Structure 1
């Protein structure tokens, strides 16, 4: 598969998500809920048509940079986020909080 050209990540606070587009076409997203100073990421998805092009990594990298710039902290409930921050522990430790039972319970209440 050819690598994606011109991927763009956009924060959509009204939708509580970051969206990645390729040549203007929606390719994936990551969803969150804010809990005080924490941004709890719980779901990341890339459309099958764009699989294998590194878009999930680009999406999470950009979202993480945005969270860091905004002075918030990340809680990686989403399995992709958890894998991403574990793999890059040294670069992400300053902005990542652990997933605790309290956070999980809070998130369940928010998502219904």
Structure 2
């Protein structure tokens, strides 16, 4: 088999993206072929995981990776017995379309925003 044929076969079966929680950096990261493609950042407040920022690198934009990232992050939150607070506009929008997380979602309140600002020193 020639090199060119091998490359074509590899591109026909792309590796699915991998989402991992990186507690030391307070975020979930999504990797595509082992390369960092984006993140959703959080801080924990009691039994709540407060999501405040989501981004996908330009090189990976338009591939639906943000939805994969956020869905797996929220599934992990459920598994950990925590609740979701969607300060991040993308996470909030995702939740309007994915009611399966409504039972573990708390509203964004002024108190949460003040707490988050203090945590992030902004």
* TM-score normalised by length of structure 1: 0.94
Secondary structure of 1:94's aligned partner: helix
* Counterpart residue number, 1:37: 47
* Counterpart residue number, 1:80: 90
Gaps of 5+ in 2: 1-13
Q: Work out the number of aligned pairs and report it.
A: 108
User: Quick one: higher RCO (CA 8 Å, sep 6+), 1 or 2?
Assistant: 1
The structure that is helix-richer by fraction is: 2
The CA RMSD over aligned residues, in Å, is 0.9
* TM-score normalised by length of structure 2: 0.86
Gaps of 5+ in 1: none
Runs of 4 or more above 3 Å deviation: none
Please say which structure displays the higher CA radius of gyration.
Answer: 2
After superposition, where does 1:11-90 map in structure 2 within 5 Å? 11-88=21-98, 90=99
Deviations 1:61-101 (A, max 9, x none): 0000000000000000000001000122x311111100000
C-alpha displacement of 1:11: 0.4
Matched, 1:93 2:102: yes
- Distance in structure 2 (CA, Å) of the matches to 1:95 and 1:63: 13
